[in-house]
Amino acid sequence: MTKLEIKDLHVKVKAEPEHPEILRGINLTINTGEIHALMGPNGNGKSTLAETIMGNPAYLVTQGDILIDGESILDKAVDERARLGLFLGMQYPAEINGVTNAEFIRAAINARRPKDDQIPIMQFIKQLDATMDQLKMPEDMADRYLNQGFSGGEKKRNEILQLMMIKPHFAMLDEIDSGLDIDALRIVAEGVNSMRGKEFGTMIITHYQRLLNYIVPDFVHILKDGEIIETGGAELAKELEKTGYEHLKVGDANA
């Protein structure tokens, strides 16, 4: 089992030091084997939390710590964090011309393996074909340039393809359901569910209960005004679907 701990995390946007903190003391522990859902109104810090854990250089940690198995990762660059087992399925994946999807995924897998033990090409292709098949992605998407000209839904599916090929310990999935039709949503959810196990934990950021019908969370957290104001089980998400966030106030978590 691996443990990801967020302790009293305060975060600012690096380019806007005069602006107030976006995250104001987040405490959260995710163990592998657990599925956490992070919900809350727009613009309250959910993506900032995921990006900061991943190591996006646009954000500045002003207080607190992020630890994997007790060791701080704050001074580690984004690629080191990835190799330690973190993965972020992004809301807006970048498009990279000239690098094929397959080539990139292989480079990502090989970055985790020693130089003298790179993944054999046939084994890689087999695994890629099977995973793409599972996600119902057309074959030619392996040879297309990374996210280049992909539709919104294709990009999201491609994030899950990378997740399933790289097999991280912790996946943060940022609005992986946006832009997906109902069939695609089910396929993507099945992909994530197939990762479930003792060595995999995830934090799913979503606005909609619908995704959580397919990927049933163990914990649901509500993030508002830069703080986690409530934590509950899967039923909390269902409740919110009826009541909305408006009635929830900072400080309620301790009440």
Partner 1 sequence: MPETLTLPNAPKIPLRRYLKQTKDDALVAPATVDAPSTVVVDHPDSVVMPATNDFEKWLNAKPQSVTTINIPAGFSDQTPIKLTGPVDGGGLVHITIGENANVVFQERWTSTGSMLGIAVAIDIAAGATVNWLAYDAFKADTVLLQRTVNMAANTTLNLTVAGFSQNSGASLLTTNLNGDGAEATINVGVLAAGKQHLGYATAVTNFGRKTVGHINQRGVITDKAHLVFNGIGHIVEGARGSDAQQENRVLMLSEHARGDANPILLIDENDVTAGHAASASRVDQRQLYYLMSRGVSAVVAKRMVIRGFLEAGLGEIRDADLKQELFDAIDETLVNADA
Site of interaction with partner 1 (CB under 8 A):
54-57, 77-79, 82-83, 87-88, 90, 93-99, 104-105, 107-108, 111-112, 145, 162, 166
Q: How far is the CB of 234 from partner 1 (least distance, A)?
A: 29
- The three-point CA angle 137-34-234 to 5° equals 90
Minimum distance, C-beta of residue 246 to partner 1, in the bound complex (Å): 34
Inter-residue contact 48 to 23 (CB < 8 Å):
yes
Cβ closest to partner 1, residue 29 vs residue 148: 148
Identity of residue 48? T
Nearest Cα residue to 28 out of 255, 219, 224, 216: 219
Nearer to partner 1, 14 or 126 (CB): 14
SS3 170: strand
Q: How near is the Cβ of 180 to partner 1 at its closest, in Å?
A: 20
C-beta of 90 vs 185, nearer to partner 1: 90
For the bound state, the minimum distance from the C-beta of residue 228 to partner 1, rounded and expressed in Å, comes to 24
Hey, what are 51's tokens?
């990006």
> CA 16, CA 38: separation in Å to the nearest integer?
25
Strands 23-31 vs 219-224: parallel, antiparallel or unpaired: unpaired
Report the residue number, 160 or 236, with the smaller CB distance to partner 1.
160
Cα–Cα distance for residue pair 106/226, rounded to 1 Å: 37
What is the rounded CA–CA span in Å between residue 118 and residue 127?
14
Identify which of residues 71 and 241 has a Cβ nearer to partner 1 in the complex.
Answer: 71
Question: Least distance (Å) from partner 1 to the CB of residue 89?
Answer: 10
CB closer to partner 1 out of 46 and 106: 106
Beta carbon nearer to partner 1, 44 or 158: 158
Q: Concatenated DSSP letters for 62-117?
A: EEEEEEETTEE-TTS-HHHHHHTTEEEE-SSPPP-TTSBHHHHHHHHHHTTS-TTS
Smallest gap, in angstroms, from Cβ of residue 220 to partner 1?
Answer: 25
Q: How far is the CB of 96 from partner 1 (least distance, A)?
A: 5
- Nearby residues of 13 by Cβ (< 8 Å), 6 or more positions away: 19, 22, 58, 59, 60
